[in-house]
Amino acid sequence: MTVIDRPPESKAAPAQSKEKRLVWDLPVRLFHWSLVVSFIGAYVTNRLGVAWFDWHVRFGYAVLALVVFRVLWGMFGAKHARFASFLRHPREASHYARRLLRGEAPLYAGHNPLGALMVVALLLGLLAQATMGLFANDEIFNVGPFAGAVSKETSLLLTSLHKRGFYVLAAAVFIHVAAVIAYVVVKRDNLVRAMVTGYKRAEAVHPDDEITTSRLTLAASLLLVVAIALVALTSIAPVASAGGDGF
């Protein structure tokens, strides 16, 4: 991926800024906003109480399926979705942060080095959170589908970590949202619009970095495989009762 230093101000800038190039493929954009809905849905249904537990589980399944899909898409997807295109050494992230504070940060077609670290952190955190939820047990009414596969002590430990993990994830999401807002307000770089439309300003994207396909057939096939695997796994999960021991 080509890195572009910020161009100097010129009279041609307003006209140039109207030109756009496609960066984010449709699967990445659908993944992003579906994950937002699923994360919020999981939180809200948890707060609403036991009557909404089934929906909490459904949203948890959605988070898990989406994250696993994103990992696969990070290996086989379109150019800027692939991990190989944006993962960099932490030293480069530190260097980018220093240039960002000086107002000299270069332009990246895809994720910048700091954004790349947040992507990985959120994916790992969400994967851990959703997985722990599969083994959860509230000792009253509700159990995760795999609570019966582990001992009661292990289930309760994972339940505790699942509850605490949400606050860690919430903090990470807050930082992510704050950074996006800062980019929009301070840097006039509308990352939200780019994740909706898929397009970024032409001056921020080298012509060679524009994508021409979203690889929708491959994305649909991967998502179908993930969904089938999740259904198959949960269908063979051992039965456990709330407050009971899995063994």
Instruction: Give pLDDT tens digits along the chain (247 positions).
Output: 666 665 444 444 444 445 899 999 999 999 999 999 999 999 999 999 888 988 999 999 999 999 999 999 999 999 999 999 999 888 999 999 999 888 888 888 999 999 999 999 999 999 999 999 999 887 766 788 888 888 889 999 999 999 999 999 999 999 999 999 988 888 888 999 999 999 998 888 989 999 999 999 999 999 999 999 999 988 887 766 555 544 3
Whether the model clears a pTM of 0.95, i.e. scores above it, the answer is no
Dihedral sign from CA coordinates of 170, 23, 209, 218: positive
DSSP secondary structure string for all residues of 125-139: HHHHHHHHHHT-B-S
Q: Cβ neighbours of residue 118 under 8 Å, at least 6 residues apart? A: 172, 175, 176, 179
Element (H, E) at 199: strand 199-201
Class of the CATH domain delimited by 19-230: mainly alpha
Query: Residue 210 CA to chain centroid, in angstroms?
Result: 22
Q: Which two tokens stand for residue 166?
A: 């949400």
**62 in Cβ contact with 108 (< 8 Å):** no
> Burial code of 62-83, b = ≥16 C-beta within 10 A, e = fewer?
bbbbbbbbbebbbeebbbbbbb
Give the HSE-up count for residue 174: Cα atoms under 13 Å, Cβ half-sphere. 6
Q: 25-76, pLDDT tens digit by residue?
A: 999 999 999 999 999 999 999 999 888 988 999 999 999 999 999 999 999 9
